[in-house]
Chain A
Amino acid sequence: MTSETVEKDEELSINSNVLDSDDEEDDLFKDWSSIAKLSKSQAVVPKRGDKDYEPDGTNAQELLLYRAKKAMFDSISDAARGTVVKNQIKAYYVPQCHRAFIPHPRGNFMHTMGKVDRNGTCWLTFNEFVYLAERGTITPYFKRSDRESHELDPLLSIQDLYLLFKTAQETDEFAVFAHLKRLGFIVISSQLTPKSESADIPHTDVKKGFRQGLSTLTKAIFTFFPVPTYHPLQYHLTRYTTSSQIYEALKNLVPYYAAPKTMHDLEKDKYVTKFEGDDHEFTFDVWKPRGTFKKKVPGPPDFQLLVFNKNSSDCTFPTYAEIKQRFRSVRSKYEGSLTQAHTASSPGSKEVGKAVKRLNPYIEQQRRLKRGYRSFILAVMDDGLISFVKLTESDFGSEDVWFKTSGKTSKERSGPAQPKRRNAKNSINKQIPQTPPTSKNLPAET
């Protein structure tokens, strides 16, 4: 321990980032800037370019590299591995239902995986089974259907397990499942998550109301066509005294899909899905790692995930209609900003609601534009490589961003807003985190 701390101090004087290895986009500061902090002068140091850790032939650098490597190998090699026979957990794969059971379940994994039936047997999905076997938590066996006792059931190797995947799709799903599990996420197949029934809305009324709303809306749009806006005589008949009026006249032409912005709208939109019977399931529900997770009452997932293989002929990137359907069936936590009406009704997001309340409307607008509304995650498999994409419902049609000039006529309306606006702009700039350029300053492991 002591030698470690000494090492650390020494390294601090050289470069505090060397041992930090994370993925390419991690927000590491450049060593240049940490030096800048030392100098305490007010001069702003320009950010420097990437890579200052190419081999420079010095002993100092060699030493750093050696230390980092050693730390890594030590931590890998020192740990004792294998299972104590007493603690071994046996899981049996049942081919008939493509699942596995553990007769005497115990272990931490039970918090987030498996389902215990009345007899105290824990049932694992196939993904969980393979994942736990890969990790060495369970010892996998093949359950022979012809006999009750487990004694003659053959032990399975990891390769055997991989052979048991039914489809290529399932393999892909497992890869995503295992990847997220290893990162600590709680992942449950969307079909199996207990769904908290959303508050029932009076069905017939809503349906009728919604349909009517739709038709009146479309009607309104259609009756809007002959407005004199695009008529040759328009500018002879009308006078505009502010730019806002000109924009108002222009903006009604092109219709758009508005994102539901209140809880009520959301529920209505969901109901349409149920009614039309195109309620699409996602592949996985994902929760961020947390200690308080309960399998029975998991609450809404943090993310919902759809796995699709880029190279498979029966998967294509979803079209807009498909994406929209997905948005409708999203059950994950709502990240977007709902209007006040909603934030009051859902206690979970109350604090957020309060914080939002105090903000300047321009910042709120900026946030709505940048964050969007409902979202889901697409996990794209490409020959074993997984890339994640977040698709978020956006709504530019509901936001007007024109700058209100403080002209004489518009003074009452927007004049006072002018200085605020300037503030807003500044704080917006501050709000958006400026991700520092990718750091390639390279951990010694490479």
Chain B
Amino acid sequence: MPKYVPNVKYYKYPLPIHPLDNLPELVLHNPISWVFWLYSYVSSTNLLPSKVHVKFSSGKHITVADPDEMLYLWRNGFFGTAQLSRSEPTWKERTLNRLGLLESSRALEHVTEQRRLQRLEFKRERANFEAVKRELRHQGVEESEITNQERKFLQSLREQETQDQETTTTDVQFREADAELFDDNNKIVDLEVLELMPVEAMFLTFALPVLDLPAHSLARSLVGNNPSYADINDLCTKYAAYHHYRSHGWCVRSGIKFGCDFLLYKRGPPFHHAEFGIMVLNSDDSMDYTWYASSARVVGGAKKSFILCYVELLIPREEALLLWQQGKFARLFASYKMGEVMYRRWVPGKNRD
């Protein structure tokens, strides 16, 4: 797939903090290279030149508006979800494309749409053929003949498909409302913002110095000034789980599409399908069985393993609350312990050998 090559380039770094990978070569027998290396080492930093600006829009939405920063957060660890796209901020590109203002279109949404259309076309063809087949049977045609016909039909479908791929057309669609999208200079206005999950925002400000919003003020904005432990529990357990998986190298994204808390991707969504669906639970939670069964069915139906991530608070709740209020987040999150249990439906007939 040609798509793979740019992916490696686009998504070179798994985190928005980049390592120093442009240090000069260190030649052992050349002291000047030592000095130069040392100079480069000291003068460079992992920090971003300027932190990403976030703001709270309409209550609790943590959003990033700058197009470059949006893209930066997406490309370096797949943080956030663009509000007018599936996940990567592609609204502008898609709009330009729709209006015929842009040459190429590579947006993932396009690929999906193309595929859906093809699929629909295939289904229609198949239904037609099914009718033909029924007709043949009514006429009492031999089964082998029908099979033959079917084979021919499939071949023709395939040929058609390969032809279609060569001639992809792009239609320009212009709606009346589109006029509003342009500013005075006839440039398109970027309406899209990137929204971060609270845990993502926390990770980007507490664990990595990326956002311009300090952890304690983020915390305050999320749960208010005087929370009870019940108010912070959900955020804390989710964050601890998020941090746990993120820090072991997973790309963690919201699992809402599959009815769980998080999805774990290796490297990121463009590279692999998510392999695990995570449900975060308190260690003493015990739900009705139906809850487990339905969650597991949904996640399992998407060929992902369903993981119950139990989070145990190691210190008393009051103490945890105190740490939160004092802003000692490192100690707070370190007092949550993770335990994982894989939940899988077991079919006796398939485990008999």
Contacts and interface: CB of A to CB of B under 8 A. Distances in A.
A99 to B, nearest CB: 26
B340 A394 contact: yes
Contacts of A85: none
Contact of B348 (A183, A321, A405): A183
Given A184-B352, A319-B284, A254 B151 contact: no
A236 B246 CA distance: 23
A13 B329 CA distance: 69
Interface in A398-412: 399-403, 405, 407-410
Interface stretch (B11-19, B88-96, B218-226): B11-19
A45 B44 CA distance: 55
Interface string A26-69: 10000000011011010111101100100011111100000000
Nearest to A392: B342
Contacts of B147: 13, 35, 38
B317 interface: no
Contact of A320 (B15, B339, B348): B339
Contact of A254 (B150, B154, B293, B334): B334
Nearest to B118: A46
Nearest to B150: A35
A183 B350 CA distance: 11
Contacts of A395: 340
State the majority secondary structure of interface residues on A. Answer: loop
A329 B231 CA distance: 36
Interface stretch (A153-161, A237-245, A273-281, A352-360): A237-245
Interface stretch (B64-72, B169-177, B305-313): B305-313
A387 interface: yes
Contacts of B137: 56, 58-61
A316 B286 contact: yes
A18 B339 CA distance: 46
Contacts of A293: none
Interface string A366-387: 0001101001010010100001
A70 interface: no
A256 B151 contact: no
Interface string A391-428: 11111110111110101111000000000000001000
Interface string B297-332: 000000101010010101000000000000001110
B249 A247 contact: yes
B340 to A, nearest CB: 4
A241 B22 CA distance: 9
B94 to A, nearest CB: 27
A265 to B, nearest CB: 16
A247 B154 contact: no
Contacts of B276: 369
Interface stretch (B27-35, B122-130, B193-201): B122-130
Given A246-B19, A319-B283, A409-B23, A254 B338 contact: yes
A221 B266 contact: no
Given A250-B247, A317-B292, A25 B310 contact: no
Contacts of A319: 283-286
B45 interface: yes
A36 B349 contact: no
A254 B23 contact: no
State the majority secondary structure of interface residues on B. Answer: mixed
Interface residues of B, number: 92
Contact of B347 (A23, A246, A310): A23
A365 B18 CA distance: 26
A370 B305 contact: yes
Contact of A39 (B17, B151, B208, B342): B151
A394 B341 CA distance: 5
Contacts of B15: 243, 246-247
Nearest to B314: A255
A225 B247 contact: no
A399 B264 CA distance: 13
B209 A235 contact: yes
A43 B340 contact: no
A386 B143 CA distance: 42
Contacts of B284: 319-321
Nearest to A12: B143
A375 B243 CA distance: 26
A57 B344 CA distance: 41
B266 to A, nearest CB: 6
A355 B352 CA distance: 22
Contacts of A242: 19, 21
B281 interface: yes
Given A230-B207, A388-B346, A393-B341, A317 B287 contact: yes
A262 to B, nearest CB: 19
A289 interface: yes
Contacts of B18: 243
Nearest to B8: A405
A298 B92 CA distance: 67
Contact of B154 (A45, A59, A243, A323): A45
Interface in B174-230: 206-209
A38 B155 CA distance: 12
A200 interface: no
B44 A230 contact: no
Contact of B345 (A45, A303, A320, A388): A388
14 contacts: A22-B349, A26-B349, A247-B247, A254-B334, A257-B337, A288-B353, A320-B284, A375-B342, A377-B346, A387-B293, A396-B248, A397-B248, A400-B249, A434-B303
The 6 closest A-B pairs by CB, nearest first: A402-B249, A320-B310, A250-B247, A394-B340, A407-B21, A251-B247
